[in-house]
Amino acid sequence: MERKKITIPNKPDTAYLEKLSDLHKAMGDYTRMKILWKLMGGEICVGDLAKEIGITESAVSHQLRALKIARLIRCHKVGKNVFYVLEDEHIKWIMAETYAHILEQ
């Protein structure tokens, strides 16, 4: 991805710092990180996601709910299947950039 210059406020609003903290908390779980990483490849249904990361559909659904509340993912239903996808390209960028950062260490 192309790197853009980011303007960082000198004194961020407390509410925004709280939202930023909540976002990182949602991403700070190993299982949720595996789910997000899988979703970087595109949309996937709950059943397939559970098989691919090796946990139950119930456990996946629980983690997906937390990611949805944090606005990291969104879903749509096709028949009886619910498909999940990353909320937007910002999430993919965050994942890719943080991964690049840990590779530099």
pLDDT at 37: 96
Q: Where are the domains of the chain?
A: 30-103
Q: Which of 50, 79, 80, 81 has its CA nearest to residue 64?
A: 50
CATH of domain 30-103: 1.10.10.10
Q: What is the mean pLDDT of the chain?
A: 92
Q: Which residue has the tokens 């096709």?
A: 78
How many CA atoms lie less than 13 Å away from 44 in the CB half-sphere? 21
Q: Residue 62 contacts by C-beta under 8 Å, 6 or more apart in sequence?
A: none
The model's pTM is 0.85
Which residues, in sequence order, are bridge partners of residue 83?
Answer: 45, 76
Mean pLDDT of 18-44: 94
